[in-house]
């Protein structure tokens, strides 16, 4: 699983100013308010650590080291791009991209947003053979 490691550094490589901006976005994002509420109520599925909001996946409830950092809307496209488009391995499919994100991160409607991103990735559309009936009606 070493191809997921670069994602782990998405946040650790940032400067303090960038980290503070991330923290502010995470705190102010209205789509995350319900998760802050749960964490503040002492829920077992969301936790606040060092001022940052994390999701605790069911399977990791007993070990703190597998918590998922909750990603605010402003950062979601970047996270999806980093998970989908890697210089070494190329462009991952929808399922692989989801797995890579879920190993470290969480955000609402992640499955849908990843699917939309991958389906509309310009590079993928240039490389892959045309799939005429690929799209589901909404």
Site membership for Zn ion, residue 82 (CB under 5 A): no
Q: For the chain, how many residues are written?
A: 138
Ranges within 5-24 binding Zn ion (CB under 5 A): none
CA 121 to chain CA mean position, Å: 17
The span from the CA of 26 to the CA of 31, in Å, is 9
Applying CB under 5 A, among 34, 49, 77, 123 the residue interacting with Zn ion is: 123
Site membership for Zn ion, residue 96 (CB under 5 A): no
Site membership for Zn ion, residue 124 (CB under 5 A): yes
Neighbour-count burial for 13-30, b at 16+ CB within 10 Å, e otherwise: eeeeeeeeebeeebeebe
CB of 106 to Zn ion, least distance (A): 22
Site membership for Zn ion, residue 91 (CB under 5 A): yes
* Residues of the shown chain interacting with Zn ion in the complex, contacts defined by CB under 5 A: 91, 121, 123-124
């Amino acid at each position: 699983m070493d191809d997921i490691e670069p994602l782990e550094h998405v946040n650790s490589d940032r400067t303090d100013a960038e980290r503070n901006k991330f923290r502010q976005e995470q705190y102010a994002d209205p789509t995350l308010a319900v998760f802050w509420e749960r964490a503040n109520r002492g829920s077992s599925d969301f936790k606040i650590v060092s001022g940052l909001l994390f999701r605790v996946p069911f399977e990791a409830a007993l070990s703190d080291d597998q918590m998922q950092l909750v990603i605010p809307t402003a950062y979601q496209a970047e996270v999806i791009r980093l998970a989908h488009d890697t210089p070494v391995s190329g462009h991952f499919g929808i399922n692989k991209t989801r797995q890579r994100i879920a190993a470290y991160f969480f955000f609402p409607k992640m499955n849908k947003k990843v699917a939309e991103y991958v389906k509309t990735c310009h590079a993928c559309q240039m490389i892959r053979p045309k799939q005429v009936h690929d799209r589901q009606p909404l």
